[in-house]
């Protein structure tokens, strides 16, 4: 079925009215980064929420909130200031196939990114192309796993240059714009 331009515009305008509304935030995982005001907290909360954004929304929201609770509702501070022993509390976390070991690895990789690459935005921006996010996402995955890591954790960060749609990371980046 092919829509005329005017029909497509009407359809998209209808979706904007439905989803581009503060009421929508209450039932969507996007509410998690909206809990914060500090740029780094927002981008970390958005990244972690997007990482586990598969399954039903209630479960995603519940588990993303649990992640923020485990990070003392200060994701940037936890990531940059944590000691190895602080990571032990993350071990019981599970969302579908993303487990506590993956969560601990994500925290270590995020700490590395903030300490050596000036944060998530800097990593994504450093390889941004005007018409595509593919190169930027590919580079991000390489940087994210530059430190020693569990092989299994790599499956939680998609790479569009390896034929992945990278929907969750694209969702994060498109919202960030």
**What's the pLDDT tens digit per position in 8-64?**
888 888 888 777 767 777 777 888 999 999 999 999 999 999 999 998 999 999 999
Predicted structure pTM score: 0.85
**Mean predicted lDDT score pLDDT of the chain:** 90
Q: How far apart are CA 62 and CA 52, in angstroms?
A: 11
- The ranges assigned to domains in the chain are 37-176
Give Cα 89 to chain centroid, integer Å.
21
Residue 94: strand pairing partners: 99
Does 138 score more than 60 pLDDT? yes
Contact residues for 54 (Cβ-Cβ < 8 A; gap 6+): 60, 96, 168
Note the pLDDT tens digit of each residue in 106-118: 999 999 999 999 9
Q: What pLDDT score does 174 carry?
A: 67
The answer to whether residues 142 and 106 touch, using CB atoms and an 8 Å cutoff, is no
């Amino acid at each position: 079925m092919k829509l005329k331009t005017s029909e497509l515009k009407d359809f998209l305008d209808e979706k904007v009215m439905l989803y581009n509304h503060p009421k929508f935030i209450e039932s969507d995982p996007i509410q998690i980064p909206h809990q914060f005001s500090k740029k780094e907290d927002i981008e970390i909360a958005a990244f972690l929420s997007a990482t586990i954004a598969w399954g039903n929304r209630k479960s995603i929201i519940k588990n993303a909130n649990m992640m923020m609770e485990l990070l003392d509702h200060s994701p940037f501070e936890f990531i940059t200031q944590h000691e190895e022993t602080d990571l032990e509390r993350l071990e019981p976390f599970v969302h579908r196939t993303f487990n506590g070991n993956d969560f601990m690895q994500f925290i270590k990789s995020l700490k590395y990114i903030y300490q050596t690459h000036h944060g998530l935005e800097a990593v994504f921006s450093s390889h941004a192309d005007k018409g595509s996010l593919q190169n930027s996402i590919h580079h991000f995955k390489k940087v994210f796993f530059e430190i020693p890591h569990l092989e299994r954790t790599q499956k939680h960060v998609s790479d569009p240059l390896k034929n992945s749609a990278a929907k969750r990371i694209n969702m994060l980046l498109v919202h960030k714009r």
